């Protein structure tokens, strides 16, 4: 193994996805996995196969969908977990089983109720068994940073002798400091006789905001794998952010002297894809991928930038895939310029998609003078898959005001036929969604509704993200328009089209408890319109 190569182990789809608000359905996970492969990560942790049939299925599907990247599944140190992990990853070109057991006394006594000796036995059995199935085994000592160092060395030596070729030392609770991480790794390197047979990995959580600093300290001390997630999503305060650790190692090559296999120009696009899939916005001042990460507002800074961009820029926006061209599009822009912009923004679309998106763009130009990159990203993301939509919005009229109920008259189109209905509600969005529900004759509850402006000005596009639920599960939808009611209807239609078509849910339905939220359905079966 070259000593100057750091392997990037991406756990966005496992540690990241289990964080509240970030769940993804099967298609979304596959899309994300392919994007991570293009980004150049070395290992994708695709999920925790034993945790649910849905997780098993997505790990299995990802294992078959990617080729150039190792696919790992997490497993507790239990035979049934290891079997599930192996069955899920075995079709991958490069499969890995990632076995873990907590090793701190706190976890052993209070969580696992195991003695140190019993834990060693579990590790011996589980790693040996995993290695009998798969060549590539990673073993993680959960809560490593609060584990007694001599016991840690015993565990590491044993796991390597049983076949583990990667040893992960997680800072599970985000408690360690960079100095402590360095000492821990030095200790392991000098006290474990077979450590040269394994790659040391860092997996740091961000509870004290030190996940990236701790991962980097691990690399400086000799770790050659870093486990991270896009935008740092993950349990509690999250994990080390992939884009930060990668750009730190690249920008400060003078300090760390190591390389990753990441194609950094893909970073922004991949982070935006995650945001568009999950509907969670990237914080504007987020390092590397935030909208302001390369913006220079103050006069002094702008002056410096004009003289020499190195005065206030330690890396170029282009190096992370942020285009600096000033090609602003508007109603006079042709399809050629529009297509060029799509490519610059990292999209590769078919001719039919380009035609459809260009038509959407032209419609938007009638309502909005200039179209920014962010508008185009919002348009593309909100209309992707629109060709295959079951129900489409034909037209709507909404009447709304204070001291009155709102009325919505909606026309939807399905298979070339137009359907129309009217509903009343306490507000225009509510009335519109009730009318949709009446037309499609399929009750659903609205679990989440978020409205935000895509850009700053008065003519900004409004972007609506919804989550709707029926007995089969929860579905996400997105709609974009200069008219927020239209954006709301479009988002609901995007979600119900997934619900009624073949789209998979972001969380499974709970038919047993369906009765409990039936009362929450938007449709008014008793037709007492306006009761809410
Ligand atoms: O944080 C942690 O310790 C983990 C392990 C399961 C690797 O996520
Ligand atoms: Zn973790």
| Region at 171 (left for phi over 0; alpha for psi -120 to 50; beta for the rest) | beta
Q: Are strands 507-508 and 392-399 parallel, antiparallel or unpaired?
A: unpaired
Q: What is the largest CA-CA distance in the chain?
A: 79
Distance CA 177, CA 213 (A): 8
Closest listed residue to residue 153, CA positions, set 101, 197, 201, 190: 190
DSSP states along 77-129: SSHHHHHHHHHHHTTSSEEEEEEEEE-SHHIIIIII---HHHHHHHHHHHHHH
Q: Is 170 in the pocket of ligand 1 (CB under 6 A)?
A: yes
Q: Is 73 in the pocket of ligand 1 (CB under 6 A)?
A: no
User: Which atom belonging to ligand 1 lies closest to the Cα atom of 142?
Assistant: 3
Closest listed residue to residue 140, CA positions, set 1, 11, 3, 5: 11
Q: Is 201 in the pocket of ligand 1 (CB under 6 A)?
A: no
Distance CA 462, CA 451 (A): 7
Helix ranges (H only) for 368-394 are 373-383
Q: Distance, CA 143 to ligand 2 centroid (Å)?
A: 9
Q: Please give the pLDDT value at position 130.
A: 98
Q: Is 100 in the pocket of ligand 1 (CB under 6 A)?
A: yes
Q: Please give the pLDDT value at position 520.
A: 34
Residue nearest to atom 1 of ligand 1 (CA): 172
Q: How far apart, in Å, are the Cα atoms of 256 and each of 40, 167, 181? A: 20, 21, 15
Closest listed residue to residue 13, CA positions, set 471, 476, 527, 51: 51
* Among the bound ligands, the one closest to the CA of 48: 1
Q: Is 481 in the pocket of ligand 1 (CB under 6 A)?
A: no
User: Which atom belonging to ligand 1 lies closest to the Cα atom of 98?
Assistant: 7
Decide: helix, strand or coil at residue 395. strand
Residues 6 or more apart in contact with residue 498 via CB below 8 angstroms: 475, 476, 477, 504, 505
* Among the bound ligands, the one closest to the CA of 103: 1
Distance CA 432, CA 374 (A): 27
Task: Count CB neighbours of 359 within 10 A.
Answer: 12
Q: Is 14 in the pocket of ligand 1 (CB under 6 A)?
A: no
Distance CA 43, CA 57 (A): 18
Q: Distance, CA 234 to ligand 1 centroid (Å)?
A: 10
| Region at 155 (left for phi over 0; alpha for psi -120 to 50; beta for the rest) | alpha
Q: Is 140 in the pocket of ligand 1 (CB under 6 A)?
A: yes
Predicted TM-score of the model (pTM): 0.84
Beta bridge partners of 71: 44, 95
* Among the bound ligands, the one closest to the CA of 102: 1
Q: Please give the pLDDT value at position 512.
A: 32
Q: Please give the pLDDT value at position 502.
A: 63
| Region at 204 (left for phi over 0; alpha for psi -120 to 50; beta for the rest) | beta
CB 414 within 8 A of CB 491: no
Residues 6 or more apart in contact with residue 515 via CB below 8 angstroms: none
Distance CA 205, CA 240 (A): 6
Q: Please give the pLDDT value at position 292.
A: 85
If one residue of 140, 145, 169, 232 were mutated to test the ligand 1 pocket, choosing by the most ligand atoms within 8 A of its CB, it would be 140
Residue nearest to atom 2 of ligand 1 (CA): 172
Q: Please give the pLDDT value at position 387.
A: 56
CB 86 within 8 A of CB 124: no
Q: Please give the pLDDT value at position 9.
A: 99
User: Which atom belonging to ligand 1 lies closest to the Cα atom of 227?
Assistant: 7
Task: Count CB neighbours of 413 within 10 A.
Answer: 15
**Tens-digit pLDDT string for the chain (532 aa):** 468 999 999 999 999 998 988 999 999 999 999 999 999 999 999 999 999 999 999 999 999 999 999 999 999 999 999 999 999 999 999 999 999 999 999 999 999 999 999 999 999 999 999 999 999 999 999 999 999 999 999 999 999 999 999 999 999 999 999 999 999 999 999 999 999 999 999 999 999 999 999 999 999 999 999 999 999 999 999 999 999 999 999 999 999 999 999 999 999 989 988 988 888 888 889 999 998 888 766 677 767 777 888 888 899 999 999 876 556 788 888 999 999 888 877 777 889 989 999 999 999 998 888 888 888 888 887 876 665 679 999 999 999 999 999 999 999 999 999 999 999 999 999 999 999 999 999 999 999 999 988 877 888 899 999 999 998 889 989 899 999 999 999 999 999 998 998 677 887 654 333 322 233 344 333 333 332 2
HEC letters along 147-207: CCHHHHHHHHHHHHHCCCCEEEEEECCCCCCHHHHHHHHHHHHHHCCCHHHCEEEEEEECC
- Residues whose CB is under 5 A from ligand 2 (ion)? 15
């Amino acid at each position: 193994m070259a000593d100057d190569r750091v392997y990037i182990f991406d756990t966005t789809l496992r540690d990241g996805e289990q964080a509240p608000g970030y769940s993804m359905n099967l298609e979304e996970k596959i899309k994300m996995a392919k994007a991570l492969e293009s980004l150049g990560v070395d290992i994708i942790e695709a999920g925790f196969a034993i945790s649910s049939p849905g997780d098993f299925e997505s790990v299995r599907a990802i294992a078959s969908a990617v080729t150039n990247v190792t696919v790992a599944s997490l497993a507790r140190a239990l035979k049934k977990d290891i079997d599930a992990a192996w069955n899920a990853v075995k079709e991958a070109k490069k499969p890995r089983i990632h076995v873990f057991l907590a090793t701190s006394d706190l976890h052993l006594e209070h969580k696992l109720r195991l003695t140190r000796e019993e834990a060693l036995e579990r590790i011996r059995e589980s790693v040996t068994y995993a290695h009998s199935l798969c060549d590539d085994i990673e073993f993680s000592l959960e809560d490593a940073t609060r584990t007694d160092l001599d016991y840690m060395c015993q565990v590491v030596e044993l796991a390597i002798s049983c076949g583990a070729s990667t040893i992960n030392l997680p800072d599970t609770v985000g408690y360690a400091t960079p100095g402590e991480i360095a000492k821990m790794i030095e200790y392991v390197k000098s006290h474990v006789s077979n450590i040269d047979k394994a790659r040391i990995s860092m997996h740091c959580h961000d509870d004290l905001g030190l996940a990236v600093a701790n991962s980097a300290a691990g690399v400086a001390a000799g770790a050659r794998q870093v486990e991270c997630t896009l935008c740092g999503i993950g349990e509690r305060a999250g994990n080390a952010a992939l884009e930060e650790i990668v750009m730190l190692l690249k920008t400060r090559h003078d300090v760390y002297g190591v390389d990753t296999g990441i194609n950094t120009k893909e970073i922004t696009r991949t982070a935006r894809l995650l945001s568009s899939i999950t509907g969670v916005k990237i914080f504007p001042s987020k390092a590397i991928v935030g909208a302001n990460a390369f913006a220079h507002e103050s006069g002094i800074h702008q002056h410096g930038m004009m003289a020499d961009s190195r005065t206030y820029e330690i890396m170029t926006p282009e190096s992370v895939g942020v285009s600096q061209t000033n090609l602003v599009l508007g109603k006079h822009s042709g399809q050629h310029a529009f297509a060029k912009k799509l490519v610059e923004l990292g999209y590769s679309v078919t001719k039919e998609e380009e035609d459809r998106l260009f038509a959407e763009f032209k419609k938007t130009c009638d309502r909005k003078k200039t179209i920014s990159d962010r508008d185009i990203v919002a348009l593309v993301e909100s209309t992707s898959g629109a060709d295959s939509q079951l129900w489409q919005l034909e037209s709507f009229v909404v009447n709304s005001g204070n001291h009155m109920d709102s009325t919505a008259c909606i026309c939807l189109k399905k298979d070339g036929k137009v359907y129309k209905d009217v509903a009343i509600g306490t507000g225009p969005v509510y009335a519109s969604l009730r009318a949709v529900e009446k037309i499609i004759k399929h009750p659903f509850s609205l679990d989440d509704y978020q409205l935000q402006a895509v850009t700053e000005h008065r003519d900004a596009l409004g972007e609506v993200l919804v989550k709707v639920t029926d007995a089969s599960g929860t579905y996400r939808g997105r709609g974009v328009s200069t008219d927020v009611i239209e954006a709301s209807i479009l988002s609901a239609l995007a979600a119900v089209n997934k619900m009624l078509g073949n789209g998979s849910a972001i969380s499974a339905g709970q038919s047993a408890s369906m009765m409990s939220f039936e009362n929450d359905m938007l449709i008014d079966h008793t037709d007492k319109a306006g009761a809410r």
